[in-house]
Copies of this chain bind each other. A is one copy, B any other.
């Protein structure tokens, strides 16, 4: 049985991680290391100037679990170094996030950062997200999708990919049209800060805004897959190099 590390960014008591653990344990020995509080939009941030604590948790019956007072990245670093011995983690699964991590959301996402942190060490990792921010979202269809994908990745014969960003549309299972492997969409947030004054008369700004899909309908992107009722699977990486520009920027080279 493979060792499966499960984490998330909504916190260890979120409904989404319970849904993920329930399916993951069909595929291996699950250990949970997850934040003790919500850590949405924490990206790959690391706690440098504070100590971190791990508390044993009995949130999941029969599953070894720890709540950590750091970020999702901290959780995975601690799991790799404190809970597990070297090379003991076979897979890392993160989520199921309450809300989409498609398109540009991947760079802000704590869910994806947990998966990415494990993948840097060569651990095949998957982040799962449901397009529903509700704390009480229905994860039943998502569980069927997770099971289908883990069957391919964990039980399949192909070498597992390093990092997948899986997003699931908010639909009943019979309305989900299938799974599409695709590219990260080029949507972005258009911010609309709420401006107001605090009780001491200080001006403040509070982030709000809307997400805009900038992809042409013909692009095989995660945003278009979701809009058309498909689960999106984007093979992703921590290597941000734009390789084709290394040549086109050669005028910057000098000796």
Q: In the complex, how many angstroms separate the beta carbon of A216 from the nearest chain B beta carbon?
A: 16
Q: Which residues of B contact A239 (CB under 8 A)?
A: 183-184, 186
Contact of A51 with B254 in the complex, beta carbons under 8 Å: no
A43, A74, A104: residue with the most chain B Cβ atoms closer than 10 Å: A43
Q: Is the interface of A mostly helix, strand, loop or mixed?
A: mixed
Q: A181 and B249 in contact (CB under 8 A), knowing A78-B205, A107-B238, A205-B82?
A: yes
19 pairs of residues in contact across A and B, judged by CB atoms under 8 Å: A41-B46, A43-B46, A44-B107, A53-B205, A81-B193, A106-B240, A107-B116, A120-B188, A148-B254, A161-B245, A178-B255, A179-B252, A179-B254, A181-B249, A181-B250, A184-B241, A233-B249, A235-B245, A235-B246
Contact of B178 with A82 in the complex, beta carbons under 8 Å: no
Contact of A236 with B241 in the complex, beta carbons under 8 Å: yes
Residue A182 interfacial (CB < 8 Å): yes
Stretch of A17-25, A90-98, A196-204 contacting B (4+ beta carbons < 8 Å): A196-204
Residue A80 interfacial (CB < 8 Å): yes
Residue A42 interfacial (CB < 8 Å): yes
> Interface code A75-86, partner B: CB below 8 Å = 1, 0 otherwise?
001101110000
Q: Which residues of B contact A165 (CB under 8 A)?
A: 240
Counting every copy of the chain, the complex holds 2
Q: Which residues of B contact A250 (CB under 8 A)?
A: 181
Q: Which residues between 160 and 177 of chain A lie within 8 Å of chain B, taking CB atoms?
A: 161-163, 165, 177
Q: Which residues of A contact B (CB under 8 A)?
A: 40-48, 51-54, 73-74, 77-78, 80-82, 104, 106-108, 113, 116, 120-121, 148-149, 152, 156, 158, 161-163, 165, 177-184, 186, 188, 191-193, 195-196, 198, 202-207, 220, 233-243, 245-246, 249-255
Q: Which residues of B contact A46 (CB under 8 A)?
A: 41, 43, 108, 207
Tell me the bound Cα distance from A166 to B237 in angstroms.
20
Q: Which residue on chain B has the smallest CB distance to residue A249? A: B181
Which of B44, B107, B186, B205 is within 8 Å of A54, CB to CB?
B205
Which of B53, B179, B186, B240 is within 8 Å of A107, CB to CB?
B240
Contact of B193 with A220 in the complex, beta carbons under 8 Å: no
